[in-house]
Chains A and B, each alone.
Chain A
Amino acid sequence: MHDGSGRIAVGGLSKSFGPINAVTDLSFTVEPGSVTGFLGPNGSGKTTTLRMLLGLITPSSGAAVINGVPFAQLSNPATVVGAVLESQGFHPGRTARNHLRSYGAAMNVPDERADQVLELVGLSGAATRRTGGFSLGMHQRLALATALLGDPQVLILDEPSNGLDPEGIAWLRGFLRSFAATGRTVLISSHLLREMEHTVDRVVIISRGRCVYDGDLEQLRSAQRSRVLVEASDPGKLVESLRQAGMDAHYLQDGRLAVPDTDSRTVADLALQAGIALYGMQDERIDLEQLFFQLTSGQYTGGQYAQGGADPRWAAPGAGRQDQQGGNSGFGGGF
């Protein structure tokens, strides 16, 4: 029997499909009472990991347990863990209510439960409609309703915001927070950190099937770097005085100077002392999304993310590339 802790533990999990290593030696734990984000680019092994956790895919090595036991050993699994997986299907000819009553019968919950969960996800009006006519967002809501049928202790969601409109995403966010607030466990995967920023407490970030960060979101946030962009009358002189003050600076393509790890106040004071006129200053912080790109870059040939997705200035020679390399070897080094 399971221990009822609501804890998820993944240890040394690996899976290869033929020559492709989808997941390599992955370990992390998910604690109850919090929302944990499981992040990584598309193809980084998130779905494979979640499906191994749910007993749908057999790992090549390692183990994943929920409440201390593998999924297959849970006697009525849907009452312990509910899951919304990508590409989870419904028979197009079955109505939403009949779908829920069918699966509710498998987990021995009363039929009224079907209407309760429909109400919970806002699908009451579509109870007697066939799922074949549902929109993507309605499918997601019905999948969530199915996951909630057994009133589970652990909720696992794979890219749940796909197909949800902004209103739906906001609703889901609130729902997951209140679900976790009752001491239950939420593990939610996404390829967008920005989308999860306000939902999750902890994050597990994977890239190429390996864990690159596992910890509090706050910690990740505090590791953000800031820099100042300066337009000066005499940039050369400013660089010199910055160096004397132990700071580094480099030129941007538009002629401005970028000064990392400082704020505009410090730079302005220095410039005043050196008698340099400043025409413009801008404080800049790398946001979480850019951090995420750096952590997971190299998933496909290096630099793709930094150049394509992030602010192009950060991809300029210098800081950006350094961070990418640092990011791959682990979180600590590059920051």
Chain B
Amino acid sequence: MGALVKAEFRKIFTINLWWALLVPVVVLSFGAGWFGTYFGSLDQLRADLGTTLPVGLLTVSMSTNFSTLFAALFGAMAVAAEHRNRSITTTFLTGSPRGAVIGAKLIAYASVGLGYGVANFLFGSLGGLLGSGIDGFGDPLDWLAVGGAGLLAMVLWTVLGVGFGALVVNSVAAITSLLVYRFVIESILASVFVRAGLTSAGAYLPAAAGGGIVGNVAVPIFIQDLKQSTGRYVPPEASDALNVFTGGSVVHTWWVSLLIFTGYAAVFAAGGWLLSRQRDIT
């Protein structure tokens, strides 16, 4: 198993994909951290209130929920790209049983996904530091909590991606459907649920649950700080408004979102694993 994991790491780092997807993660997290805290509406809010608020936590949450998309795309290529260039034949001829090969891919890709998460957290924080200074992060423990939740989210999205790619196999279809689902289909589904009167059902959808892992850590901390530092009543609508940017929802606490999304990731990973074991490679 160790040999197979080592082989997967070598495959990852001998082509360009890993850094081609890392670049947008770094740029987005840094940009969101800097511009989001310095120029954005959050800065306006801070000026109006005349007090410092942990806005850096919100921007880290926001960039995490952008970056998870790249982690998922990266994961999706683990198996799908091998089918595309037909190297999956060699992979299964040199590693046996197939279940171990997919397992090795899950481990290697999840590790790199974790690396994406670290990059996102570091560059997002660096951007936030430049934009709003050290005050923008509040309590260091809160900062670490948001960062840790972000790492979890990145790893789980990568695992979901690996499973999804192994199920779909066609790399173009895998990437397209991930993007279309994330940007179009889930919002349509969510609005359908709302019209049907199931207002909280949308929070159970994959992207909402995945976004909630970090969003539902960052937003409650922020609201709490806001209440304490201003002493004013903060309407629940404020959380909803923040959730639009940071991901997550008021329906669940962060760990419920984590459980739901872990379920999705597990279902896709198990499905991709099972199918890969049986699929004919013609």
> Is this pair of chains taken from one and the same complex?
yes
Asked if A92 lies at the interface with its beta carbon under 8 angstroms from chain B, I say yes
Q: How far is the CA of A51 from the CA of B236 in the complex (A)?
A: 61
Cβ of B7 and Cβ of A91 under 8 Å apart? Answer: no
Q: How far is the CA of A83 from the CA of B93 in the complex (A)?
A: 8
Q: How far is the CA of A107 from the CA of B7 in the complex (A)?
A: 9
Cβ of A88 and Cβ of B10 under 8 Å apart? Answer: no
Of A81, A89, A146, most buried by chain B (CB within 10 Å of CB) is: A89
Cβ of B92 and Cβ of A105 under 8 Å apart? Answer: no
Q: Which residues of B contact A81 (CB under 8 A)?
A: 93
Cβ of B94 and Cβ of A87 under 8 Å apart? Answer: no
Q: How far is the CA of A103 from the CA of B10 in the complex (A)?
A: 9
Interface residues on B, range: 20 to 34
Asked if A98 lies at the interface with its beta carbon under 8 angstroms from chain B, I say yes
Contact with B along A72-110 (1 / 0, CB 8 A): 101111100101010111111111001101110111100
Asked if A274 lies at the interface with its beta carbon under 8 angstroms from chain B, I say no
Cβ of B93 and Cβ of A77 under 8 Å apart? Answer: yes
Asked if A193 lies at the interface with its beta carbon under 8 angstroms from chain B, I say no
Q: How far is the CA of A301 from the CA of B81 in the complex (A)?
A: 39
Asked if A326 lies at the interface with its beta carbon under 8 angstroms from chain B, I say no
Choose from B89, B96, B278 the contact partner of A77 (Cβ within 8 Å).
B96
Q: Which residues of B contact A98 (CB under 8 A)?
A: 10, 14
Using CB atoms, name the residue of chain A closest to B85.
A89
Q: Which residues of B contact A85 (CB under 8 A)?
A: 89
Q: How far is the CA of A98 from the CA of B96 in the complex (A)?
A: 21
Q: Which residues of B contact A102 (CB under 8 A)?
A: 7, 10-11, 14
Cβ of B281 and Cβ of A56 under 8 Å apart? Answer: yes
Q: A71-B96, A77-B93, A106-B95 are in contact. Are A56 and B86 (CB under 8 A)?
A: no
Using CB atoms, name the residue of chain A closest to B12.
A102
Choose from A51, A72, A99 the contact partner of B281 (Cβ within 8 Å).
A51
Using CB atoms, name the residue of chain A closest to B101.
A106
Q: Which residues of A contact B92 (CB under 8 A)?
A: 55-56
Cβ of B7 and Cβ of A57 under 8 Å apart? Answer: no
Contact with B along A38-77 (1 / 0, CB 8 A): 0000000000100100111110000000000001101111
Cβ of A88 and Cβ of B86 under 8 Å apart? Answer: yes
Asked if B15 lies at the interface with its beta carbon under 8 angstroms from chain A, I say yes
Q: How far is the CA of A51 from the CA of B7 in the complex (A)?
A: 23
Subset of 14 A-B contacts with CB under 8 Å: A51-B281, A58-B280, A78-B94, A83-B93, A88-B86, A89-B87, A90-B87, A94-B15, A98-B10, A103-B90, A103-B94, A106-B7, A107-B94, A108-B3
